[in-house]
């Protein structure tokens, strides 16, 4: 970052998004366990009160679009839910069951659903209904991303910032979009971009 001729790789470990109020891997498995905890009934599987309505609808709609029965997807939800307490992580669980198309599909949809829900209640969302709304940087002042941004912008105008950031590659072990979301909004605000 100080030497513009050098490339930099930043490895962002799992859990680095926790300070943005996003779930850690262990918290994500618990969320998935709850969201996928459908109950058996005479007509197949149904939602428990308060659980995963969006996910249930997404799976039903996916099956309809593909012209496939929804039952195997629903069975996969129950299987995943019943085993999250045993899984080191959702990634490990999906890797273990990579030959089972339904489990992998349901797992990926469930992850996306859980992360999107978490992002809406995290410190990152910006209300898109008003162009003057901005990220609440005062709440993010002590996060690693804010501290890193402050280092990158020292004695740099926008063009120099772009040159510095273009030499950085982020490798992230997180599902969320906190890096992109934070740096996009921070640069827009700091450099007075439209």
Q: What is the Cα–Cα distance from 32 to 114, expressed in whole angstroms?
A: 7
Contacts of 34 (CB under 8 A, 6+ apart): 51, 52, 81
pLDDT digits (tens, 9 = 90+) for 61-98: 999 999 999 989 989 999 999 999 999 999 999 999 99
Q: What is the mean pLDDT of the chain?
A: 89
pLDDT of residue 65: 96
CB neighbour class for 15 (10 Å; exposed up to 12, middle 13-18, buried from 19): middle
Length of the chain equals 194
pLDDT digits (tens, 9 = 90+) for 125-145: 888 887 778 898 999 999 999
pTM confidence score: 0.82
Q: What is the Cα–Cα distance from 157 to 18, expressed in whole angstroms?
A: 30
């Amino acid at each position: 970052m100080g030497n513009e001729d050098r490339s930099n790789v930043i490895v962002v470990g799992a859990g680095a998004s926790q300070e943005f109020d996003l779930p850690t891997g262990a918290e994500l498995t618990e969320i998935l366990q709850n969201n996928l905890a459908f109950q058996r009934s005479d007509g197949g599987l149904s939602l428990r009160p308060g659980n995963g309505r969006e996910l249930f609808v997404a799976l039903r709609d996916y099956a309809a679009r593909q012209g496939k029965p929804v039952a195997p997807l629903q069975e996969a939800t129950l299987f995943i839910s019943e085993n999250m307490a045993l899984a080191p992580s959702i990634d490990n669980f999906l890797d273990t069951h990579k030959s089972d198309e339904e489990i992998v599909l349901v797992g990926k949809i469930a992850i996306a659903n859980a992360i999107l829900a978490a992002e809406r209640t995290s410190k990152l969302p910006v209300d898109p209904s008003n162009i003057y709304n901005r990220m609440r940087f005062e709440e993010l002042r002590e996060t690693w991303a804010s501290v890193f941004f402050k280092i990158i912008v020292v004695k740099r105008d926008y063009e120099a910032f772009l040159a510095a950031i273009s030499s950085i590659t982020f490798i992230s072990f997180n599902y969320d979009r906190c890096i992109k979301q934070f740096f996009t909004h921070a640069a827009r605000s700091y450099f007075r971009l439209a």
